[in-house]
Chain A
Amino acid sequence: MEKIPSHTKKRHFGMVIDLDKCTGCASCMVACYSENNISFRDEESVKMLSTNWIQVFKLTNGKPFPDTEVCYLPKPCMQCDGKHFGHSPCVSVCPAVATDFDYPTGIVSQIYTRCFGCRYCMAACPYHARKFNWWDPVWPADMEKYLSPDVSPRMRGVVEKCTFCYHRFQRARQQAYNEGRPEDIREDEYQTACTQACPSNAITFGDLDNPDHAVYKLKNSRYAFRLLERLNTNPSVYYLSTREWVHRAADNYLEHEQPAFSEEQQA
């Protein structure tokens, strides 16, 4: 199809998050706020009104003291491919093509100026990855000074979500063009803000289809799984955990069913 410009290299960016490493410190969240001009209000405790592109959840294994275990699970937008390539749950429902599956990168785009705020995509997203701008964004005092020109501040009434820091990809690409090596972008040249911020190196980011990238190997690990994989959303974000209960907590199972990981463990 005409989807990919002739001069563009095709990639499929994705993330692998090692849940055994994640400490739940929220550096990724804060780095994301700062990187992506995410607005805040004085009241942020009602999480379903709060804008987060990546959010760290706390999972417990449900066992009583002292056999309790905790696992932290950072959840960005999963950049789903959907049932067939590009048929992401949110993309197919957007009536105005404000969100689209970016074929050259495998990232789900979101164009705030096209979005008119119908929120159908939010209804379609099982991960609650999409957030609506219920209020006009306001930065108190002269905090507007720290806003980055790489990411447009959103206006009231539109949906926003994690973009895998697409502007960093653009930045890397611009640099590559400037240096006369178009489309040749090294693995370390494009990393998301959260990946870079994670103080315990729990997040790995790269081209899932490129055997030279770290994520390629990690996503094929036997400890790898994805969130709500059974919905056929086909996320580009993988998780790693050696703990069986974490695998179970990441998807829904009927009583007699088991995650593939547990079956493997028992075998």
Chain B
Amino acid sequence: MTTPAIPEGVKRCGSRQFLLWLGVAALVVLWGVYAMYRIWFYGLNQTNMNNAYGFALWIWADLAVIALGGGAFFSGFLAYIIGLKNVKNIINFAVILGVVCYTSALLILGLDVGQPLRGWFIFWHANVHSMLTEVAFCLSVYLGVLIIEFIPVLLENPKIQKVRFFHHLSHNMHEIMAVFAATGVFLSFFHQGSLGGVPGVLYGRPFAFREGLFVWPWTFFLFTWSAAAVGPLFTASMCRLTEAITRKKLVKDDVYHLLAKISGWMLLTYIIAKSIDTIYWATVTAPSMGFALMDFYSNNPLYNIWILVAEIAVCGFLPALILITRKGRENKKLLFGAAILAIIGLLINRWVMVLQVMAAPLMPFQEEWFMYSPAWTEVATSILPIAYGIILISLAYRYLPLFPQEKELNPGN
């Protein structure tokens, strides 16, 4: 008798349908891989970046996926350290999302550097004062943690469980998962922060520069905070999306509600802190360098002041207020509407902190804003992670017991 690859007691679609689904995603991956080939073999001239836009779509994509992947670290923190049992029902999914996000981030970094074969210099010849070094170290070690967190889930595949060693390994890893999770939280706190530090320390770029607390600029804390606030919302939204696609209930509503409540308060406190930061920056930091707030916002539609309004009011306070109210949380449409707004807010924040920094003219005799639109290669490689994530999550969902509550919620399978 053979052991089924699919976990016991759950129902999955037919393999033909599954392969078709994977095939579509694989096509997108292939497109991205072709773009990767162009970039690695012909160099970064295949992109639309230039000397004004040394950092562009990719760095934004990196910051974005890492912030969204922050759901893994914060859920881990809630589940293993605070001990919120309920969060454990979604933690596996959060971890997989984290793995997807972080591997994608590293892949994009591998593309983004001009000399990938020398990429290891960042570790070997590390400059410990550079925020990017901190990002690289914490990011890669944290990816290791995520994989460690993912291994027990992987080992729970019935076929793998048959190997006794793996069975024990999975059990033992579960036992001390809190240690890994705690280390992960520590690392994640720092690299999320360092990512904020990346623009925040640029004292030659008044738009990004934030004064500091200890050795870190404000953005260090704001980035960690916002990732912790919005990450779980992203996890929840993706979980909801999986539910919609599989047409199955996978997680009980109270899990969502709990995450939403925590995120709501996190978001509210974050956006208040962010507002204070913005006000301080606009009235103290920037003017000391000769810039009025409106110098940083152009007449062109992309870098207009609306971007600040959207980030703070529409995608900050609004979703925060929805999420902290019970009524808001319990209305599914409001809850996920707010989650999507919050995610957009986070994406805008990262966009602004990378792209607008590059776009804003600094020298007074140079009036034009630097404009840039990504090349297809950049778009393809930035979309690749999404397709790759779909594939990985689909495989994980199909073959691993991701959702402890699935059986209970879907009886009769």
Contact = CB atoms under 8 A, between A and B. Distances in A.
A94 B54 CA distance: 13
A206 B363 CA distance: 26
A134 interface: yes
Given A95-B122, A118-B122, A251-B290, A128 B365 contact: no
Nearest to B117: A116
A132 B53 CA distance: 10
Nearest to A125: B204
Interface stretch (A177-185, A212-220, A224-232): A224-232
A157 B129 CA distance: 23
Contacts of A48: 50-53, 370
Contacts of B133: 95-96
Contacts of B331: none
Question: Main secondary structure on chain B at its contact with chain A?
Answer: loop
A125 B205 CA distance: 8
**Interface magnitude class on chain A:** 35 or more
A255 interface: yes
B54 A122 contact: yes
Given A117-B113, A128-B51, A252-B290, A134 B122 contact: no
Contacts of A116: 113-116, 118-119, 121-122
A158 B205 contact: no
A238 B126 CA distance: 33
B365 A132 contact: no
A198 to B, nearest CB: 20
A97 interface: yes
B98 interface: no
Contacts of B289: 230-231, 252
B44 A94 contact: no
B290 A92 contact: no
A156 interface: yes
B43 A156 contact: yes
B203 A132 contact: no
A114 B364 contact: no
Contact of B204 (A94, A124, A159, A249): A124
A89 to B, nearest CB: 4
Contacts of B51: 48-50, 122, 128, 130-132
Contact of A119 (B55, B118, B199, B288): B55
A157 B118 CA distance: 10
B115 A134 contact: no
A14 B127 CA distance: 26
B109 to A, nearest CB: 8
Contacts of A231: 203-204, 206, 289
A118 B113 contact: yes
Contacts of A124: 202, 204-205
Nearest to A118: B113
A125 B208 CA distance: 12
A125 B203 CA distance: 9
Interface in A123-140: 123-128, 130-136
B201 interface: yes
A254 interface: yes
Contacts of A227: 363
A133 to B, nearest CB: 7
A94 B121 CA distance: 11
A114 B270 CA distance: 39
A158 B115 contact: yes
A79 interface: no
B265 interface: no
Interface string B119-150: 10110011101111100100000000000000
B54 A115 contact: no
B55 A117 contact: no
B198 interface: yes
Residue of A95, A136, A248 contacting most chain B CB atoms (<10 Å): A95
A89 B203 contact: yes
A85 interface: no
Contacts of A114: 121, 125
A233 interface: yes
Interface string B34-56: 00000000011100011111110
A135 B45 contact: yes
A57 B365 contact: yes
A46 B127 contact: no
Interface in B165-218: 198-199, 201-206
Contacts of B198: 120
Given A123-B202, A252-B364, A254-B292, A117 B44 contact: yes
List the 5 closest A-B pairs by CB distance, nearest first.
Answer: A117-B114, A157-B114, A252-B290, A119-B54, A122-B54
15 contacts: A46-B50, A48-B51, A73-B365, A92-B129, A93-B131, A95-B136, A117-B114, A123-B55, A126-B363, A248-B364, A251-B290, A252-B289, A252-B291, A254-B290, A257-B290
Interface of B: 43-45, 49-55, 112-116, 118-119, 121-122, 125-127, 129-133, 136, 198-199, 201-206, 287-292, 295, 357-358, 362-366, 370
Given A122-B51, A135-B43, 13 more contacts: A46-B50, A57-B365, A92-B201, A95-B122, A96-B121, A116-B119, A119-B54, A119-B55, A130-B51, A134-B50, A233-B204, A248-B364, A254-B290
